[in-house]
Structure 1
Amino acid sequence: MIRLRLYTTLGCHLCEQLEALLATLCDAPHRLERVEISDDDALVERYGVRIPVLVDEAGQELDRGMQPERLAAWLAERGWLNEMAWQALQRQLSGEMVSETARGEAKGAALRGGRRYLG
């Protein structure tokens, strides 16, 4: 079983995205240790604007792992990528991009109060 550490903070929706992607794309049994950065000034200084940051047992860090391509590449480097799940996710993401482009919407955009927010 591989052990991973996730530097996070309470209510981090990007961290939740990374965890969901990790559950989908990681082909190896793993244990995820969540480290709350707000409890430690040094961790806030190091990771505050970079979270979520995923770290393997060798200390290799991945920031912006909530981006599927980045997480897939990081997992593939270690031999932990579920290739079939990654291909399915790529098909799903490309289908979403096509439909949003056809509607003239940016991916992840939400309309609130007449303003478009990227999300």
Structure 2
Amino acid sequence: MNQLTLYTTLGCHLCEQLEALLENLHRGEYRLVRVEISEDEALMARYGVRIPVLVDAAGDELDRGFEPSRLAAWLAERRRLDGSAWRRLQASELGPEARVQEEQVPTKQRPRGRRYLG
């Protein structure tokens, strides 16, 4: 079983996002140990502005794991990424409404050739 540590604090919505993504993208079983940083000055100094920070058993850290592509890459490096779950997540994020190409966005021309959204 893969053991991971999450440096977090009470009410951290980004930590909750990371946990939800981890639950969906991690292949196989894992054990998540949550470490509350607010109770330790050293942890506050190290992780206070960086949480959530996910750490593997080797001590390798991932900042901003709530960003799906960062977490997916980190898990893939460790051979723990559920590829089919990642593809489903990518497909849902890039649904038809999100696939707007630049030429479809209405723009206007300003003097000297500068464009701006209309």
TM bracket (short chain): 0.7 to 0.9
* Residues 61-96 of structure 1: CA deviation (Å, up to 9, x unaligned): 001000000000000000000000000000111128
1:88 is aligned to 88
The number of residue pairs the alignment matches comes to: 102
Distance 1:95 1:41, change over 3 A: same
Q: How does 1:1-119 map to 2 (within 5 A)?
A: 1-95=1-95, 98=98
RMSD: 1.8
3-state DSSP class of the match of 1:15? helix
Return 5+ residue gaps in structure 2 as ranges.
Answer: 106-118
* Residues 2-24 of structure 1: CA deviation (Å, up to 9, x unaligned): 10000000000000000000000
Return 5+ residue gaps in structure 1 as ranges.
Answer: 105-119
Q: CA deviation at 1:60?
A: 0.1
What amino acid maps onto 2:13 in structure 1? H
What amino acid maps onto 2:35 in structure 1? V
3-state DSSP class of the match of 1:58? coil
| Aligned-pair identity (%) | 63
Distance 1:67 1:97, change over 3 A: farther
Moved over 6 A (4+): none
1:41 and 1:83 map into 2 onto residues whose CA distance is: 38
- TM-score, structure 2 normalization: 0.82
Q: Which has the larger radius of gyration?
A: 2
1:42 and 1:4 map into 2 onto residues whose CA distance is: 20
3-state DSSP class of the match of 1:69? helix
3-state DSSP class of the match of 2:57? coil
2:108 is aligned to none
* Residues 18-46 of structure 1: CA deviation (Å, up to 9, x unaligned): 00000000002100000000000000000
